[in-house]
Structure 1
Amino acid sequence: MAMDGAVDVVLSVTSAGSANQRSAELRDLWEYLTDRPALRGRVARRTTDESETGHLGPLTDALVAALEPGGAFTVLAGAVVAWIKFRPRTESVKITVRRPDGSCVEIELKRQQAKEYDAVDKMVRAALSPPPSTPTASSDSTG
């Protein structure tokens, strides 16, 4: 999904509930994110039937955010933290973030932990920190 110069961040949500509850959580997060003006048009739902790829497994739902380097990562992190803060706390939730470099970070929150906003904010922002920029050749040779 990546747009020109953008990188993809993949978010998935799992909870202790049924497949319908997990799907509802992801849909709720998707609606919340796409309601943010800075993220509108940058977040898409992706459903993969893993049995089609030769692997056994259920349907996998995820959100793919195409982010420009810079402030978009901060906007996404802030929106995910706000969603966690305001979602109903009936279940524990686990958010998996697959970063552009291929690394994966899981944030698992028990029902009561979702109220610890500072800790949640730090975890989400660390998981959604932009990838380090690739070193470029510089004309500055003050070695």
Structure 2
Amino acid sequence: MDVKVIAEGLDSGNQLRLLRDWLTDAQELRGRVDGVERPPETGTLGPVLDALSVALGPAGAASAFATGLIAWLRTRRGDVHIKVTLPDRSSLELTAKRVSGLDADALQQQVSEVADLLSRQQGDTDVPERRELP
């Protein structure tokens, strides 16, 4: 299963590059994270990073992705908004503001919810069309 990750807001391309670097530090995700680029706009140099595509084959990859995404969001300052879209077009949205202040238990709960959602999707069970996590 491939999931698509986009960043919204200012400097979204750079945020995606940083997230890609962070995720590929996890052994379970090496070789599974690719950039999705669009051609450069007239008068600019090089393509623009629009999204990340993450291949979540084995169960460990879904957990590694959920853990890495939440951990990365905790390190962000400012208003970073990430949207993860699943193959059935359902999605979940996460923001750095909502993750940065979580205590250890709430943080673990957040990771578990994201991993469970991804795992259910891999098993083709019903997933809410759109879910915004606290």
Q: Same fold, TM exceeding 0.5? A: yes
> What is the TM-score when the length of structure 1 is the normalising length?
0.66
**In 1: Cα distance, 2:58 partner to 2:120 partner:** 7
The correspondence for 2:102, drawn from 116, 123, 128, is 116
Asked if 1:29 corresponds to 2:19, the answer is yes
Say which SS state the counterpart of residue 71 (structure 1) adopts.
Answer: helix
Distance 1:13 1:29, change over 3 A: same
Larger radius of gyration: 1
Which residue is 2:4 aligned to?
10
Aligned position for 2:87:
100
Task: Output the CA distance in 2 between the equivalents of 1:132 and 1:124.
Answer: 13
Counterpart for residue 35 of structure 2 = 45
User: CA-to-partner distance for each residue in 1:6-50, whole Å, 9 max, x for gaps?
Assistant: x111111123x3xxx22111110000011111100000000235x
Could you tell me which residue of structure 1 aligns to residue 121 of structure 2? 131
With normalisation by structure 2, the TM-score equals: 0.69
Q: Which has the higher helix share?
A: 2
Gaps of 5+ in 2: 42-47, 126-134
Kindly, what percent of the aligned residue pairs are identical?
A: 32
Shift of 1:99: 0.7
Q: Residues of 2 paired with 1:84 and 1:98: CA distance?
A: 17
1:58-81 Cα distance to aligned partner (Å, 9 max, x none):
x66110011114221111101111
Q: CA 1:115–1:124 in 2, change beyond 3 Å: closer, same or farther? A: farther
Alignment match, 1:63? 52
- The one-letter code matched in structure 1 to 2:29 is L
Structure 1 residues 115 and 129: alpha-carbon distance in aligned structure 2, compared to 1, 3 A threshold: farther
The alpha-carbon distance between structure 1 residues 46 and 115, as it changes in their structure 2 partners (threshold 3 A), is same
- The RMSD of aligned alpha carbons is 2.7
